[in-house]
Structure 1
Amino acid sequence: MSKTVTCLYQDQQKAAAIVSRLEQAGLSRGDIDVYTDASDTLIDDLVDEGVPRSDAHAYAEGVRRGRALVTVECDDDAVDRVVGILDGEGVLDLDEQQTSWRADGWQGHDASASGGVAGMGSASSDVASDLAGSGRTTRARADAADVGGSDQVIPIAEEELHVGKREVGHGRVRIQSRVVERPVQEQVTLREERVDVERRPASGTTQAGTISGDPFQERTIEVEERREEPVVSKEARVTEEVVVRKDVEERTETVSDTVRKTEVDIEDERRSQGTGTTGPTDRKR
């Protein structure tokens, strides 16, 4: 049996976010209705979906005041999961809302005071396009009751595992060269010449022929002093090398995961015609 779960939200954006979460959880978009327009038929529409009329009046008043109403039709076993999703950010307590409205003088929903409310506006999904204009999302639904001549379909799905690859950084090696200076000392022996000039009296009698030439001849003697200075030169030589290379290797890695597959069990409990006995159970996978 199917049930209708309803929740009132602060605004249309909050409702759009909840609808997106419901779809991500696997609920069919056709089982979700969003009301943002308090039309004259809103109460009857909610009653047709199984909402009590008293609550339908309150929901209609909330929509008229700019709130957004989300209704979800689901099976009994999915009610708790749907309620857990709907009870999210922006949900309003209907009883508290009614108490507040009655304090302002509200006696019940007045259909003549209903005014159109803009659609989802800037909501970013197909929810916005569904709500624009009409204010309500209406999709075809699958009947939960047995209806003659109608087909009920269970999709059989199977997942396939596709493994790709992408490059990721695994760290880096940076090598940077720089020049540093250190003081060095070397010893070198330098030679320096010095010229001494000494003037002294002659001893004894100068004999003719001791001094060659005429002693009264003008003479010039020139002696040059020389000395050595250190000369510094530098020679660069390579003492070692730093070689950077990148090696590439390939490896095979096994990726483990799980894939889902739909399996169907068919139990045929119909009695065999003419025998009045129950036939065997047919179970297929």
Structure 2
Amino acid sequence: MSKTVTCLYQDQQKASEIVSRLEQAGISRGDISFYSTFSDDLIDNLENDGVPRSDAHAYAEGVRRGGSLVAVECDDDEVDRVIDILDDDGVLDLDEQQTSWRSEGWQGHDTSTSGGMTGGLGAAAAGLAGSLTGSSGTTRTDVGAGNDVTGSPDITRARTDTAGVSGGDEVIPIAEEELHVGKREVGHGRVRIQSRVVETPVSEQVTLREERVDVERRPVSGTTQAGTIGGDPFQERTIEVEERSEEAVVSKEARVVEEVVVRKDVEQRTETVSDTVRKTEVDVEDERTVRGTGTTGSTDGKR
């Protein structure tokens, strides 16, 4: 039989954290309903999720006042695990909230027309009582703010009254917590290496050779006869002399002078996680008086 476990939280951030924890615990996202915005259809949507109409009105009022509601549909064997996740800091006690709202003028839902629910217990207690007597269908289990799930006053009262009305047995659940340690990755910052090109002015000296041609005309003394030097002076001739010079030529060669190596080392360590787990212990005090003859308290069962 499926049940709908609901919790009202004081803000959307806390409710979102709870939804993430439910998904990490393996609860299907399709079984989780998250309400953080009030709408005219909110009450009907909550009823479709299995929330009684009286509580649906209260939850809708809580959402309208800025709260956020998380509803989880689960099987009987998953209820305790879901409640352990939902029962966290930031959860609001629905009964206390309704009392406060009524003092401000809020009317709520008229329980006299809600199918015979007991006003003293509220819809949460009546829904739980139905599950204890073996009723079928969808039952809502409400988690109270700050209450131990195994010892919540509302839960205990619901079970006691159920025994008186239906003639069934009184039941005290014996619960025990298990410690589950998981892992998550946490960032510790990052190392960023970026290369860039920097230009640095450099200078180098080089010796260059330059040729220059000078043309000079000089007079010749009158004692020198024509034809004695250089042959026939009337012979045509051409002399070419080329001027040459050197200029600087720049070339560059790239070579690797250093390397930057980025390496990530992975180490494993074993860490001991210590916490406390809760379990229910029951002390039975039998103050009955046995009447009649014979020996009482014998171990062989004879009287």
TM-score normalized with structure 2 length: 0.49
Mapped contact 2:159–2:171 kept (Cα < 8 A): no
Alpha-carbon spacing, 1:86–1:276, altered in 2? closer, same or farther (3 Å): farther
The alignment status of 1:186 with 2:204, answered yes or no, reads: yes
Query: Which of 242, 248, 257 is the matching residue for 2:266?
Result: 248
CA shift, 1:93, in A, is: 2.3
Alpha-carbon spacing, 1:134–1:229, altered in 2? closer, same or farther (3 Å): farther
CA shift, 1:278, in A, is: 9.4
Alpha-carbon spacing, 1:11–1:213, altered in 2? closer, same or farther (3 Å): same
Q: Which amino acid aligns with 2:261?
A: V
Mapped contact 2:58–2:94 kept (Cα < 8 A): no
In 2: Cα distance, 1:235 partner to 1:273 partner: 114
Query: Which of 142, 161, 170 is the matching residue for 1:152?
Result: 170
Mapped contact 2:58–2:98 kept (Cα < 8 A): no
How big is each residue's C-alpha offset from its partner over 1:91-146, in whole Å with a ceiling of 9 and x where there is no partner? 0327x789xxxxxxxxxxxxxxxxxx9x9xxxxxxxxxxxxx97985633544387
In 2: Cα distance, 1:8 partner to 1:159 partner: 28
* Equivalence for 1:172: 190
Mapped contact 1:271–1:277 kept (Cα < 8 A): no
Percent identity between matched residues is 67
In 2: Cα distance, 1:218 partner to 1:15 partner: 122
* Equivalence for 2:246: 228
The alignment status of 1:237 with 2:284, answered yes or no, reads: no
The alignment status of 1:267 with 2:285, answered yes or no, reads: yes
In 1: Cα distance, 2:181 partner to 2:55 partner: 43
In 2: Cα distance, 1:135 partner to 1:272 partner: 41
The alignment status of 1:206 with 2:206, answered yes or no, reads: no
Alpha-carbon spacing, 1:213–1:226, altered in 2? closer, same or farther (3 Å): same
Superposed CA RMSD = 4.3
Mapped contact 2:227–2:233 kept (Cα < 8 A): no
Higher helix proportion (structure 1 or 2): 2
CA shift, 1:195, in A, is: 0.5
CA shift, 1:203, in A, is: 1.6
Query: Which of 86, 103, 111 is the matching residue for 1:93?
Result: 103
* Equivalence for 1:71: none
Q: Which amino acid aligns with 1:179?
A: V
In 2: Cα distance, 1:199 partner to 1:9 partner: 123
In 2: Cα distance, 1:97 partner to 1:251 partner: 56
Mapped contact 1:9–1:15 kept (Cα < 8 A): no
Which sections of structure 2, spanning at least 5 residues, go unmatched? 1-53, 73-92, 118-122, 131-157, 298-303
* Equivalence for 2:60: 13
TM-score normalized with structure 1 length: 0.51
Which sections of structure 1, spanning at least 5 residues, go unmatched? 1-6, 25-80, 99-116, 120-132, 280-285
CA shift, 1:211, in A, is: 1.6
Q: In structure 2, the residue corresponding to 1:196 is in which secondary structure?
A: coil
How big is each residue's C-alpha offset from its partner over 1:153-173, in whole Å with a ceiling of 9 and x where there is no partner? 111111111111122222111
In 1: Cα distance, 2:64 partner to 2:287 partner: 44
Q: In structure 2, the residue corresponding to 1:92 is in which secondary structure?
A: helix
* Equivalence for 1:283: none
Q: Report the count of equivalent residues.
A: 181
**Bigger-Rg structure (1/2):** 1
Mapped contact 2:226–2:233 kept (Cα < 8 A): no
In 1: Cα distance, 2:62 partner to 2:296 partner: 51
The 5-angstrom pairing of residues 119-158 of structure 1 reads: 139=127, 140=130, 142-144=159-161, 147=164, 150-158=168-176
